[in-house]
Every structure is written in structure tokens, then in C-alpha cells.
Chain A
């Protein structure tokens, strides 16, 4: 199961890089990511609004949409946020429940160190300010999957605030035009998750699983619209969206709905809605109870969480008992933005390509392995990896680690191409064959299919000569200055040589022969 961070980035790619169609009525407010975790041992980052301009169909007042996302992501840890019970994906229901998780009276929460470290790492990776002192609170509401009647969260003073995230958006139809945008991260908070409710319609009962290790990303989107220059509109919350695709659809449809309502003189209610996947639109979720008062109260069983840096670390402190932010910062892995920058510097590839390389699981590693074993230029490798290799993967819906073509195989193929042992057309053929039949090397395929480029210069000269003699009319065209005529000759020579001649070489010979 992919670690949460990785998943989050994948999520970002799928919809951030989708193109904005400028001609439609509503452009999409650019995606805003910020995590909020509602899982035991999960980090939570709250929302940030971003304004985009849109044109209404009637061409009247412009509308601007404001979208805020609350993302719930589970921290990868061995045990839960406040209890010692283990975390394991897809365990049998209620098999990983400690006394505290079941809310047995008299049990107390104990904070999991690894979860705090993960939250700090997330905060640092998202350019947040880490609060050296943060507090825990109880958020009260009654529901069957919340056995304590409250959830422990960080409402007053969360662990990290005021971060930012740079991301790329495609503009225009061509994927090549990419612009960088920034979104603000309001906060990251540690939070306990509720259990899982399974509604058994048949028996009219609800079953509760208190394991709480779903391992999924969950997003709530807050949406409102207003006219630029006017105050923000009433917002609605669309809850429990699990995929980037549906998140985008839900936001779009909600923006559309709100504009439609307002343009027809109606009001937007501050309510919670859910997204109907089949109908493709949002529906109201809770009945008109009105806003819930969660009766927030400080969690009395957890003292304030104090974090240190190297400067403020008390002397002689037990390393088991304290967390040093600087120490964690030093151990952060290379962040994607750094990796992208490095790729651009080191290999001279384009920014949009650097995004593409990072946004597919395992693709960067594949790319780097090919680079290691080939003499071909990085630009060539990039092109082959992102266009041809990735194209084949997507067509068959495979992940990088499921690819039948290994980095070594591709590297070998590119080497053949680089020393002009084969033409690029032939190379593509070889690649197809590599994909289909495992175990064969590119060299094997080349010799099997006799795809080697002619190396015999004399034979090539003879072939050119033969073609020129056989097509005097075309030769005349060339001499008369028709720029396209030479291509015809090249084509004829290629045909004559069964595509085993390098078109560049052919052209060079022809030009030599045809020059006065």
C-alpha cells in the first residue's frame, strides 16, 4: 500500500494537469491541496481558498469561485495515535481494538511519537511554521462509530500553520504550456478517526468496526461563489470524496449549481452535501437540523505538546522523550520540488517534463536507471520515456513496476539508436516487440527482424544512384528547386533498401549527388 505522501502527489497530478478549457462557462478553480486527517494518527491540514475568474453563459457579471479543501490522510505508523493497538490494512473487523479505542471507562490517551514526527515532517515539507506548543481538544457529537462521544483533535492550536504548496497547471490545449501556482495551507492538525460504519439495509442495522485503518484519502470540499469585489458567498461543504476525478467533478458541479441558483434569484444554504456519482451532481446530506455545536473543550488528559529545536532543547534531555524539529528537518527526504529542479539542472529537461516524471509512481527511478546505462542524450531518453514508454503503459493501464520492458532493455535500444545502428522507425518497432515478448533483447529483435541500418556506404550510394536514374523527373524537380521533391527521392531509396537506410544519410548522399 502506497505511503500517504506518495498517494497525495498522485492525486495532485491527475487533476491538476488536466487542461482548463477556456471556452466553457466555468473554468475550474485550481486545485487546492491541504491535508486534514481524520484518521487516528493522521495529519490534518485545513483549507485555503483560491479565487478564479469565470465567465457566465449570459455574459453578465463575472463569477468567482472559492474552494477550500479539507484532506484527511492516514499516517503510516505501526500503532494508533493515542493507543498502543496496531494499525493494519484490511484486518478483520474489531480485531485491532484496545481498551482505549473501545472507550472503556477509565482509559486514557497516550500520544504516539511517530505520529507527531510524521506531522512535523508533513508541516516542514509544506513550508509550514511548526508550532512549538500545540494543544489537543475534544470535539463532541453523538454517533454510533464514535464510542467516546467525542473525537480528540487540535482545534485551538494545531501542530503546524501557514504553509504553501507550488503546483503546476496546464493552460491551453497543448500540454506543453504549464504555469506554476501556489496554494496556501492553513494548518495541519493531528486527529483521531472515528470507526467505520457499515449499514446493513436488509436487517436495518448498522455494524461498527473500530479498527479504523481504512488507509484511504478522504477529501471534503468547501465551495462558494461570489462576484469579484463583493463579499464571499455562503459556502456549502461536499463531503467524503475519495478520488481526484470525482473531487473535480463535484466541485465543478457544485459551482455550477450555486451560480444557477443565484442567477435565478434563489439563495445558497450553508449545508452539507454529498456527491452522487451516478447523477454527477451534489445532493443535500443532513437534514435541516441547523449547525452542530461541537462544544469544544481542552483534552484534560493530554498536556500541551511541546516540540524543540536544537537551540531550545533542554540540556541533558532524554532523546526518547523529546522531539527536535531541526533533527527531523535534516532527515527529510528530497522533496519533489527539489527533485524536479535537480532534474532540470542535471539533464536539461523542461519543467513540464519534470512534473510528468515525478507524477507517476516509479517513473523517475525507471528514467534514472535508463540514463545510467545509455549513452543517449537525456533529452532523447526523456522523450522516449514520457511519450513512448508512458504511452504504452497507459494504453494497457499498467503501473511502471508492471512494465514488460526493463530500464536495461530500453537503454540498450537507445544505444542502438544513438550509434545509428537502427533508424528511429525501426526503434519503435523494436520497442513494440520488446513489449510483446519478454526475454528478448533489443539486439536479438533487431537481428531477427533484420532491422539493422545499412552500414555499407557504397551500397547506399549505389542505391541512390539507381533511384536517381530511375526517376529523372523527380530529379529535375529537385534541381528546379522544389523542396519537397527530395523527400520523394529519399522515400524511394528507403523503399528500395527495405527501410534499412538512415534517412539522414540518404539525404546527404542525394544532396551531394544533386549539387552542381
Chain B
């Protein structure tokens, strides 16, 4: 017999008999019953405790009163749990009476013993209802034994340790460790099972850190860049009054597809329709134009000279969109692709709209108002929530799963909030520079667990959402980086737009070896 004081582990924190017992449980649950029972005899550690064996014999023999007095005798069993366990025993007793045709006895159990228990009313009503159908009398012995075994399994889940061990204890302990590894893995970009042989840590080799391409299509500062939802195209817009659509090729290189001309002034904002067939462009002193992606032609122009649009957002149906104006008189308007105005939120109280976004699931409209106010409107119920920031906000970006959004502030912080409104404080990310200009950030990477942002010091910053300090700082641009976009389908591809007239594409350091295995 093992000495129950034996300990394991380098700090002596693990009790040996407990350790062996959960290994035995694990072997049984994996189906290795022979090994399990051999281990029990070799180690002298039995999986089933003495108390449990007592309960087991009561259950197998149908000694219900014995079961109940056993359950009542356990001091560690909390009142509610005890009643749930007693309920299970009485239910078995009742069902067996019914099977034997002893309806009156069954009824007695229900009325005299079950109805007094502190369990959910529905359980009791359900039991009453099960008496309705005439059970087939004439019992199959095996069926009874099996149902008693099931009862024992259910009771085991309710018993406290050390009488019973919680289910799958060893698996749970290992998974707790793995989860802790993953949570603290800064560069975590792998999906699926994690190896137990080494403490898990992803290397930086999966994150975009080096320039793989420089796009020089624009002739002036590039202010905005965004990948299409399917990751096959990139749109960029510039102070040179054009927007460019680039195609992403199989091998990850980008080529120019269309240059969209027609605007009179700088184009500061571009947004893809959810189905990626259309593009909206607008500028701070410009009208709104709708383009067909395939042909590169302008399909509609909205508004006239006086109508100035600062930002816009599509609804999931790719047929309607909203736009916000930096003109205080205009407010927010909703249009369809044919040029019809559907709805407008106007009024004297409507301050200037800095940025606007619709969550991908179509449920919320989030807008940034002059220039410290965030308004989150639930489109279904028309309920609006307001968050007031302390510093001017320059841009807004929503996560792909519609649950979070980030805003860039002139105080050199990026704040993340939850759409549903349960957080009373935002998560903060710092490290980049932003004092004067509009700098934009985005979610990205595998599972949207990373944030990237431009910065006034010409670098691109990358954070893991779990950490407020950046994990990567990318150098290459020579002037302020205004905007970044992470390819939604290629988590290793990042694009940045800069005042130095270029768009840079970033990829992982070992791009040449193209390790694709982790992505699946």
C-alpha cells in the first residue's frame, strides 16, 4: 500500500496517490480497462473510493433507501446537489415500479417523497408526465441493470471529491496548461492542437515583419488602403485625386488593375462592398463615387459640389450604404446604389461625422462624432449608446466578428471597446506616434487577434490584442504611415499607405520558404 504522504514534482506539490488515481481514470476513459485495473493492483491505488463502492452496491442491488441514507450522510454534499442526487435515485425507483406495473407504488414515491425535494419544478412535472404512457410490463433484466449503471454514472458526477473524481480530470489539467501557453503566446498564429513535448511559443516568423513589395502607382501622399473582403484585391487612395485597385496574385505579389480617375480633390476614404463587386470612394472635400470593380468605371456620383462626405459604410446586402458628412448640416444619410436616398439622420444637433462603420453582421451602426464622441446605434431596436472619449478620435475600425472596434486617438493611444457595451473601460494600446494627423488602424492576423496601426514616425506598429505594448515595429517608409490593412484571407500579408507616395506590402521573414502548414 502506498504511503499517502508521498509527493511528486520538483516542488513537492503533487500527491502521488492522487496523481496515480487520475491516471487510472484517464486509462479507463480511453478504453484501456485492462491496463487501468492492472495499474490499480500494481500501485495499490484504487480508482473507486470505499464510499463510492458502498453507493455502487446499493444502486446495483436496487436498495434505494440505502442510497438515500448514504447521500444524506455525506457532509460535503451541498443541499441542492444532494436533493438532485436523491431525485435521481427516486426517479429510478419510480420508473422501475412503473415497469413492473406497480402504478400505485410509483404514485406514492412521486407524491410523498419527490415533491418535497428542492429541485427544479420542471423535473418533477416531467417525472409526473412520464407516468402517462403505459410502459411495457414484463421487464427485460438487462435493461434494468443498464439503467442502474446509468444512474450510477449520473450520481458519480454529483459526488464531491475525494469520493469521486471529476470527469476527465487529467485532460482538463493538461488543457489548462495549454490554454495558459496559448494565452501568453504573443505571436500566436497557429490553429489546432499544440504539441505537449515543448512549452508552446510561436515565433515571429509567422507575422509580417519585412517589406515584400513596394507599390508606386500614386503620385502623391497615399492616405488610405484596404484589402477586399475576399483578400483578392487591394484598394488605395491618394492626395493625387485617384484611387487604385490592385490585384493580389497567387504568389502574393500585387499588380495594378485599375486606376479610378474622376475625383476633383484628394480621395481620403475607400470602402469595399461586402460582396467585393463595388467600391465607394470619397474625400474630405469631395463627393461620393461608386465604382464597379471589374471594369473600373464609375457607376454613380452622389451629391453635388456642396455635398461633402468624410466616410461611408456598406450594409451586408451590398446594395445600400450609409455615409457620414463632415458638414454639420448634413449628418448621416443612407443611400442605395441607384442614387436614391433612403433615410437620413439630420438636424441641428447633428455634429460633424468623423468616421462611420456598420458591423459586418449588420446589427450596429457605429459613428464618430466631432470628435470625441462614439455613438453605437442598434439598427434593429434603435437603441443608442454613447461613449465619450477624452481626446479627439481620428478613425474607427470594426473587428471581423462584429464584436469589437478600435479607435485611434490624438493622445497616441488606440482604444478597443466591445460593441455590446459590457466593458466600462477600454483596452489601451500605445507605442506609436499620433498627435496631429489622421492615423488609422485595423484588426488582423489569424482570428483577428492582432492590431496594426500607422504612425507619424513612418513606422507600422503591431500589437497582440492581449498586450498593450507592441510586439513588432516595422520600418521602411520614409514619412508618416497613414493607414494599414491586413489581408483577411492571408494572415501573413499586411499593407500600409504612407505620405511617401508608396504602399508597402509586408510579409513574414521566412517568406521564401512559405511554411503553409500552420495555416490549416
User: Do A and B associate with each other?
Assistant: no
